[in-house]
Amino acid sequence: MLSDVTTPQDLDDRFRETLAALATPSQRRDPARPVTDDTTLTGARALDLFDAQATSRQLDLAGRWLRSFGEGYYTIGSAGHEGNAAVAAALRATDPALLHYRSGAFYCVRAAQAAGWTPTERPEAARPEAERDEADQPSGERSDAGRFDAERFDAQRFDAERGGTDLPAAADGPVEAAPADADGPGDGSAPDAADPGEPTGGAGSAVDRPLHPGYAEAARDVLRGMVASSSEPLAGGRHKVFGRADLAVVPTTSTIASHLPRAVGMGLAVERLRRLETSGRRDGVPTSGGGGATHTSWPPDAIVVCSFGDASVNHASATAAFNTAGWYDHTGLRIPVLFVCEDNGLGISVRSPKGWVETTLRSKPGVRYFSADGGDLPRAYEAAAEAAAWVRRHRRPAVLHLSTVRLMGHAGADAETAYRSPGEIAADLARDPLTATARLLVGAGLATGEELLARYDEIGWQVRRIAEEVLDEPKLTAPADVVAPLAPRRPARVSRAVADAAARAGGPGAGARAEAFGGRPPELTGPLTLAQSINAALADGMLDHPQMAVFGEDVGAKGGVYGVTKGLRDRFGVARVFDTLLDETSVLGLGLGAGLAGMLPVPEIQYLAYLHNAEDQLRGEAATMQFFSQGAFRNPMVVRVAGLAYQEGFGGHFHNDNSVAVLRDVPGLVIAVPARPDDAAPMLRTCLASAAVDGSVCVFLEPIALYHTRDLYADGDGEWLSHYAEPGAWTGGHVPIGRARVYGVGSAEDVTIITFGNGVPMSLRAAATLADEGVGTRVVDLRWLSPLPVADVIREAAATGRVLVVDETRRSGGVGEGVIAALVDAGYVGAARRVAGVDSFVPLGPAARQVLVSEEAITQGARTLLAR
């Protein structure tokens, strides 16, 4: 008797038992006709979708098999969610998709759509089964080759099996057979001769239809991901993802709702690009990234599809995405996004309360609600087609609530019996979507149960064969290979991009530049503050990067709470400088989607403390994109953040946040901290160029207390003001990523102070005090907190043999720890000391001085070093 536990063996056996019991249809239906009288889904397309669902199911079984002997590293499967094949069929291959990790059937359909096969074609790779080399088909066992056999999946038998007759020998590539048409019947070709072990069927039967080569290709992609093969086409062995640039499938690495804000941003960008396209102007906005990255060129009427699980509706990121989509819809701004909630009622072991998901999704303002049973292929297809058409026509957001089941637990190690009753598991088994599709096809007269079982086995045979082949593919074996796509740095190209921008600003763009600045370019307005210099550099960036957009809370009409973006909206319009709703997750999500679509987003986070609730959008989404796609997708972005402490008469820890540890821990992230006006502009130009050229994700951390600082040593000295460089001087003043600035005070031979941000003016004042005592000081402004300017630090430390690290962040988890570690790693043997902020939040008012670094502490720290 079959058990109530959905093990791979059990699920496979139940499917076989069900198909064997199906009655033979009394007559055949023309596959060109609708599969039922109340749907537009044709029999031919339903047969195709069965193939996709069966391929997905066989991939799940293969994943468990690979894991059983330690060669598979990912077992979250799609069993029970195969209804998403209908969603893919209702969309276009050019609609960008961000997929939930149970999207095997969707991915198969998308691969077939992208192949562009038509029913009159028969690819050369397609051969009748009897024409295959005998070495490719074990005689007499073919009808059972796709069957899941628990004994054959035993790890101890694996080596013997690879040399035996149960499995076909590895070949140069997958067996690809001619596909069936998505809208009509197959070509009707029959095998030239019947092999005794081959499944056969009557004219027009399911097994006469050759398998679409796109499904085999998709299976190979997925299996390569499971075994961490370096040949996997997108992540290259770094993660198992659903993604490929040529399929317009954007990789998502978590899908616990963290990709939903990006989907909203993509929808916003897709619609902006569409409006530019249809208005006959593009404003220089490309649909493909530079620097060798390849992006899908999405047509003007494309929509974004984003799938996720029911438990994810409760996540803050999902709430942010739905709210943002509805908020913009309420304001009249169109966001063509179709959210797809695949609701299996469980978040691992936690049940979604009955009715909760529907109630939640129906209540989202500005988001149209559609629903369907994912186990009912025609109904799911019709609902998905209706939802997609509505979004495409109205350019507005909608959600498709697709009810599903989860078979075989959450993942391979999940024991469902610990939290589900046998009755519950059996109820889900009764709703198996693959079985439901088989019943549909047999009931419609399109196939017999025997034919579908043979089809299932044929697919299983191909999947097992591909699994055998990918096992032998290489893995990533060197650290350099692993990190290669993480954050490419091409400083020569970035420098050249800055030089080109200077040439344009001083040459053909000089007139437009003069007009944008009202006839007075910033180099002619006298010395500027830090805030004014950033403002001017943003304007120059907008002139040189027509795809650049500045957005955030209060950046438009108000010009930012500190006036840094003042006047930009008037110069460049509301389409390029605009206010967002008050939600940092959504602000960054808009940037993620816009960058992916080909724009150059410059979002602003109003205060550093506000970044922490949205940090995963940088860590888990932005910074991982190139890493998990080998550069096929990029998220160029420059995030401006007002931060750090020392605001006089204003603050508390929200407005004086001095913690950057969460940023420095993100691999590949560029962190710039300009202290002086004459550094701010060239550093911002570098960040913009790096984002455009290398797809870099940059955080431009602006010290609030220095925004409007004018003086350094005494009131009225104007020593912290700087002239803005004219375009002709941009190349000579270029500041590469990871290069420090060094100030010499006095003889500069006695002590080296290494600092950044607010520590720079404080250290310079301390150095002036020390100079009066006959002490020469080198003050090193790091400028870049990631990557640290290690070479400059080591050189300047060795010059004096005494290093004082002045770190305005905290002693634990602060920047100083990284500087000291870099010195130790380099073999520095001189004296070193730290002056850092106390491990405390920054309190309100005068108490802040008790936990922050002071000039007196810097001076005393240097004296202590000199006394050793």
Q: What DSSP line would sit under 554-602, residue for residue?
A: T-SSS--TTSTTTTHHHHH-TTTEEE--S-HHHHHHHHHHHHHTT-EEE
Beta strand 831-837 with 777-781 is unpaired
Residue 474: C-alpha distances to residues 289, 484, 503 (Å):
29, 16, 46
Per the CB < 8 A criterion, the answer to whether 805 and 837 are in contact is no
Residue 123, C-beta contacts closer than 8 angstroms, at least 6 positions apart: 117, 176, 178, 179, 213
Report the distance separating Cα 569 and Cα 346, nearest Å.
46
Residue 277: predicted pLDDT: 66
Instruction: Give the least confident one: 77-86, 276-285, 416-425.
Output: 276-285
* 310: exposed, middle or buried (Cβ count in 10 Å: 0-12, 13-18, 19+): buried
pLDDT at position 205: 58
**Band of residue 568 on the pLDDT scale cut at 50, 70, 90:** very high
Q: Which two tokens stand for residue 286?
A: 């490309």
Contact 281, 274 (CB under 8 A): no
Global pTM reads 0.87
Q: Note whether 680 and 530 are within 8 A (CB).
A: yes
Confidence at residue 256, expressed as pLDDT on a 0 to 100 scale:
83
Provide the percentage of residues in the chain whose pLDDT is more than 90.
69
Q: Render pLDDT for 499-516 as a digit per residue (tens, 0 to 9).
A: 999 999 999 999 999 999
269 vs 256: CA distance, rounded Å: 23
Q: Residues 563-579: what's their mean pLDDT?
A: 95
Asked if 52 and 215 count as a contact pair (C-beta separation under 8 A), the reply is yes
- The residue type found at 109 is V
DSSP 457-487: HHHHHHHHHHHHHHHTS----SHHHHHTTTS
- pLDDT at position 207, please? 58
Q: What share of the chain is helix, strand, coil (3-state, %, to 5)?
A: 40, 10, 45
pLDDT surpassing 80 at residue 665:
yes
pLDDT value at 843 more than 70: yes
pLDDT of residue 417: 82
- Please check the confidence at residue 339 and state whether its pLDDT lies above 50: yes
Q: Cβ(80)–Cβ(432) under 8 Å?
A: yes
Given a cut of 80, whether residue 290 has pLDDT beyond it is: no
Q: What is the distance between the alpha carbons of residues 56 and 77, in angstroms, rounded to a whole number? A: 8
The yes-or-no verdict on residue 140 having pLDDT over 50 is no
Residue 441 has pLDDT above 80, yes or no: yes
Nearest to 380 by CA among 341, 415, 336: 341
State residue 147's pLDDT score.
Answer: 56
Percent of all residues in the chain with a pLDDT value above 70, rounded to a whole number: 86
In angstroms, rounded to a whole number, what is the distance separating the alpha carbons of residues 823 and 817?
A: 10
d(CA 559, CA 331): 20
| Interacting residues of 75 by C-beta distance below 8 A, sequence separation 6+ | 63, 64, 67, 411, 412, 413
Residues with Cβ < 8 Å from 359, sequence gap 6 or more?
none
On whether the CB atoms of residues 239 and 205 are closer than 8 A, the answer is: no
Nearest to 84 by CA among 490, 525, 387: 387
pLDDT, tens digit (0-9, with 9 covering 90-100), for 791-801:
999 999 999 99
Q: Taking 70 as the threshold, does the pLDDT of residue 172 lie above it?
A: no
pLDDT of residue 669: 95
Q: How confident is the model at residue 648 (pLDDT cuts 50, 70, 90)?
A: confident
**Bridge partner residues of 578 (DSSP):** 551
Q: What angle do CA 839, 842, 847 make, to 5 degrees?
A: 105
Q: Who has greater pLDDT, 118 or 59?
A: 59
**Confidence at residue 414, expressed as pLDDT on a 0 to 100 scale:** 80
**Is the pLDDT score of 708 beyond 80?**
yes
Q: Which helix (H) or strand (E) holds 790?
A: helix 790-800
How many whole angstroms separate alpha carbon 241 and alpha carbon 124? Answer: 30
Better-predicted residue by pLDDT, 41 or 647? 41
What does residue 622 show for φ and ψ, rounded to 5 degrees? -65, -55
pLDDT of residue 115: 82
- What CA–CA distances, in Å, run from 16 to 7, 56, 621, 706? 14, 16, 41, 72
Mean pLDDT of the chain: 86
Res. 96 pLDDT band, cuts 50 70 90: very high
Residue 161 has pLDDT above 50, yes or no: no
pLDDT grade for 206, boundaries at 50, 70 and 90: low
* Residue 156 neighbours by CB distance under 10 Å: 7
For residue 497, pLDDT beyond 90: yes
List alpha helices for 597-641, DSSP H: 608-611, 616
Using pLDDT thresholds of 50, 70 and 90, give the confidence band for residue 291: very low
pLDDT at 19 over 60: yes
Rounded to whole angstroms, the maximal C-alpha distance in the chain is 105
Residue 285: predicted pLDDT = 37
Q: Which tens digits make up the pLDDT trace of 443-478?
A: 999 999 999 999 999 999 999 999 999 999 999 999
Structure tokens at 238: 């770094």
Confidence of residue 126 (pLDDT cuts 50, 70, 90): very low
**Among 126, 183, 145, 84, CA closest to 437:** 84
For the segment 534-543, the average pLDDT, to the nearest whole number, is 98
Look at residue 293 in the predicted model and tell me its pLDDT: 37
Average pLDDT over residues 610-633: 89
Q: Of 741, 796, 773, which Cα lies nearest the Cα of 859?
A: 773
Handedness of CA 836, 838, 844, 847 (dihedral sign): negative
The whole-angstrom separation of Cα 107 and Cα 117 is: 16
Q: Between these two residues, 761 and 662, which has the higher pLDDT value?
A: 761
Q: What are the helix (H) ranges across 615-676? A: 616, 661-664
Contact 19, 438 (CB under 8 A): yes
Give 537's Cβ-side CA count (13 Å radius): 31
Q: What is the DSSP letter of 181?
A: P
pLDDT at 421 over 70: yes
pLDDT score for 566? 96
Q: What is the pLDDT of residues 295-336, one digit of tens each?
A: 447 888 999 999 999 999 999 999 999 999 999 999 999 999
Q: What is the pLDDT of residues 28-46, one digit of tens each?
A: 989 999 999 999 999 999 9
156, pLDDT greater than 50: no
- Give pLDDT, residue 136: 39
| Residue 800, CB-side half-sphere exposure with 13 Å CA sphere | 27
Mean of the pLDDT values across residues 688-717?
Answer: 96
- List CB contacts of 295: < 8 A, sequence separation 6 or more: 245, 287, 288, 289, 596, 597, 598, 633, 634
Helix axes 43-68, 104-115, angle to 10 degrees: 130
| ω into 787 cis (within 30 of 0) | yes
744 strand-pairing partners: 778
